[in-house]
Amino acid sequence: MPRFLYLNQWCAKLMVHSEILKATSLLFFCTIYLPSCNISEPAEFYSPTAGFVTVILKSDNTDTNINILGTDYGISEQDSMDLLVFQGKVFDADSNFAILFHNIKSWRQEEFVYNILDWNSNEGYAEFKIFESHVPPGTYDMLTLGLIASVIEVGPYRIPISLPPDTEGVITLPTGFIIDEKSVTKITLSLKPFQSMSRYRDDYVFDRQIVIESIEYLGQDAYEQIIIDSDSLDV
């Protein structure tokens, strides 16, 4: 059965402090009453510090046109497609998983909506930080998250869209990455919003064309910067 890897940092520290108190008391006893006693802290008392996973979502800047009823429409700053993002998780090879939260102060999973067609003629599509979360150190081989869109507005059209029949809202992205202590692993996802659209009978479906574009390892400086930036976040 999959196990939930994410461990609240405060609980972990409390457990470690309890064990350290026991070891300290024993050391004091040995120092006073048993000078020859040799005490060392057991290895199992060590609790590794989590790293951070940052997940960025953006649209592919090469995907900027769609054909609707025989007419081509290029992306404009007035277009929109609201994408619901939810239930991020990472899994290791044994199906153990860690939940991804919106930011490092979050304590519950939430749903957020992003206009994936947010476009600027000078910079292209906007980037969105959809998850930034503590994750235990280790090797992971899968990212899952929920992505659902219900309507797209392009040119003069406002078109209802849905997932293809018998398709789950949560998608699975096989990959391979490492989480190190006090470091940041940044995963960038690239979505083709228009190529994900297709006609199905009398409706349009959103068959999510998404890939992991890059995985970056940013080190301890980025880790500490995230902690500094979190001071301005709402709990």
**pLDDT tens digits for range 87-140:** 999 999 999 999 999 999 998 899 999 999 999 989 999 999 999 999 999 999
The pLDDT > 70 percentage for the chain reads: 79
The tokens describing 183, both together, are: 């470091």
Whole-model pTM: value is: 0.81
Residue 43 pLDDT greater than 80, yes or no: no
User: Torsions phi, psi of 222, nearest 5?
Assistant: -65, -35
Residues pairing with 125 in the sheet: 119
Nearby residues of 184 by Cβ (< 8 Å), 6 or more positions away: 51, 52, 53, 54, 217, 218, 219, 222, 223, 226
pLDDT tops 50 at residue 15 = no
Return the beta strands (E) in the chain as ranges: 51-59, 65-68, 71-74, 80-91, 97-100, 112-115, 119-120, 124-125, 127-135, 138-154, 157-162, 170-179, 184-191, 197-200, 203-206, 210-217
Between 24 and 56, where is the model more confident? 56
